[in-house]
């Protein structure tokens, strides 16, 4: 009888060790994913929902800009477009926006930058107002108040997410998730028609 009790106790200890190691490994994997997501963007979703692919026609939309104008994507056909999805609460977005401003200042006559704010994820519209008043970027800031455009592009999967649209109105380069540098924008824009 004592051997049976000892055997059961040994099995319980071994099972406990196995469960503990499994939990520790699973926790470590989640920490690694979280660390990778911080460098890549603000939110993460499964790859199959990650967005449109090169060769796809860029879905048309019309949005109001932060300063009250209206922009329709299809009216820009014939010009290269950098379509960026961002939010004020997104650290990587804040990191790339000065680079986007510099790129727009130097290449804005040949490349349009459209920065679509995920307004439906902001605490309030005043967050965007405060951010724009503080930084005053000159490229168009569009307000996606109901999240419809980000849903079309699956841009709210991770922010920032950027699409590169060629003069033919098609997505011509793989989407970029995470902050862009000036050099990356230049290289990508130079690689599309």
| Confidence band, pLDDT 50/70/90 cuts, at residue 29 | very low
Residue 2: both structure tokens together: 């004592």
Q: Do 70 and 118 share a domain, yes or no? A: yes
Q: Do 62 and 22 share a domain, yes or no? A: no
**Rg of the chain in Å (alpha carbons):** 23
Highest mean pLDDT among 1-10, 27-36, 124-133: 124-133
What distance in Å separates the CA atoms of residue 7 and residue 187, rounded to the nearest whole number? 66
What distance in Å separates the CA atoms of residue 158 and residue 54, rounded to the nearest whole number? 18
Closest of 94, 161, 102 to residue 132, by C-alpha: 94
What distance in Å separates the CA atoms of residue 106 and residue 25, rounded to the nearest whole number? 48
In-domain check, residue 45: no
161 strand-pairing partners:
85, 177
| Confidence at residue 170, expressed as pLDDT on a 0 to 100 scale | 97
Considering its fold, how many domains does the chain have in total? 2
In-domain check, residue 13: yes
62 strand-pairing partners:
72
In-domain check, residue 30: yes
| Confidence band, pLDDT 50/70/90 cuts, at residue 47 | very low
pLDDT digits (tens, 9 = 90+) for 61-98: 999 999 999 999 999 999 999 999 999 999 999 999 99
Q: Do 67 and 111 share a domain, yes or no? A: yes
In-domain check, residue 23: yes
Q: Do 145 and 173 share a domain, yes or no? A: yes
In-domain check, residue 48: no
Q: Are 52 and 150 in contact (CB under 8 A)?
A: no
Its pTM stands at 0.74
In-domain check, residue 176: yes
Identify the domain containing residue 182 by its residue range. 54-191
pLDDT digits (tens, 9 = 90+) for 147-178: 999 999 975 568 999 999 999 999 999 999 99
In-domain check, residue 44: no
| Confidence band, pLDDT 50/70/90 cuts, at residue 41 | very low
User: What is the β-pairing status of strands 70-72 and 176-177?
Assistant: unpaired
Closest of 23, 25, 44 to residue 34, by C-alpha: 44
pLDDT at residue 14 greater than cutoff 90 = no
Q: Do 107 and 33 share a domain, yes or no? A: no
| Confidence band, pLDDT 50/70/90 cuts, at residue 102 | very high
In-domain check, residue 126: yes
Q: Do 61 and 25 share a domain, yes or no? A: no
Closest of 170, 126, 121, 171 to residue 146, by C-alpha: 121
What CATH number does residue 151 fall under? 3.40.30.10
């Amino acid at each position: 009888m004592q051997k049976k009790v000892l055997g059961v106790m040994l099995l319980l200890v071994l099972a406990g060790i196995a469960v503990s190691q499994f939990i520790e490994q699973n926790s470590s994997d989640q920490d690694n994913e979280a660390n990778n997501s911080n460098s890549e963007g603000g939110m993460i979703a499964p790859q199959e929902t990650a967005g449109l692919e090169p060769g796809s026609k860029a879905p048309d939309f019309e949005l109001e800009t932060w300063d009250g104008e209206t922009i329709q994507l299809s009216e820009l056909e014939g010009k290269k477009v950098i379509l960026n999805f961002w939010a004020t609460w997104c650290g990587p977005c804040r990191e790339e926006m000065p680079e986007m401003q510099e790129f727009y200042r130097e290449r804005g006559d040949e490349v349009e930058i459209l920065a679509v704010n995920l307004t439906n994820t902001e605490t309030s519209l005043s967050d965007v107002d405060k951010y724009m008043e503080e930084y005053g970027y000159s490229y168009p800031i569009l307000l996606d108040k109901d999240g419809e455009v980000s849903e079309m592009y699956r841009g709210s999967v991770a922010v920032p997410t950027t699409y590169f649209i060629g003069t033919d109105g098609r997505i011509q380069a793989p989407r970029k998730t995470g902050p862009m540098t000036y050099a990356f924008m230049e290289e990508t824009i130079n690689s599309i028609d």
